Amino acid sequence: MGQRRRARECALQMLFQIDLTGVRPEEVFGTFWAGQDAGDDTRRFAERLVEGVIAHRQRLDSALAGSAANWRVERMATVDRNVLRMAIYELLLERDTPAAVVLDEAIEVAKKFGSEESGAFINGILDDVRRRVERGELLAPG
């Protein structure tokens, strides 16, 4: 498994914990990394994803809601919701990663941590988000 995939998986686990408990990212980082064997680059990227999602969550959820017909963000499975937030953050703000890679990574992480339907659900929503970004309908948060 690549370093970035590992970072995304770690970020998802931390976002899951934050989503369920409401604690601040800094509180999660220390306890999470204590039980992990991860290099500095993996940690830095994972923490950047977590901090970015938290900082821009309202904007990310708005973008997500616009591509999730018939789904309210708060009613989505916690894993799916956080995989989507993380991927949308990458599509909008981590522009060095190609959109196709972001989508593939999100789908794989969702398959590993989510339900049987998570991969297809994530794929459908992120494909719409990607198209909206390409058309200029979604811009990076200011």
What is the block-wise mean pLDDT of the chain (142 residues), using blocks of 10 residues? 90 96 92 87 95 95 90 92 97 91 96 94 95 86 58
pLDDT at 30: 87
CA–CA distance from 14 to each of 26, 68, 139 (Å)? 10, 23, 26
pLDDT at 139: 72
Q: How far apart are CA 36 and CA 3, in angstroms?
A: 13
CA–CA distance from 102 to each of 4, 45, 129 (Å)? 10, 14, 11
pLDDT at 54: 96
pLDDT at 142: 57
Ordered structural domains, the chain, with CATH: 3-134 (1.10.940.10)
pLDDT at 32: 92
- Spell out the residues 6+ positions from residue 5 whose beta carbon is closer than 8 angstroms to its own: 105, 108, 109
pLDDT at 2: 83
Q: What is the pTM of this model?
A: 0.93
Q: How far apart are CA 46 and CA 60, in angstroms?
A: 17
C-beta separation of 75 from 47 below 8 A: no
pLDDT at 12: 97
pLDDT at 48: 96
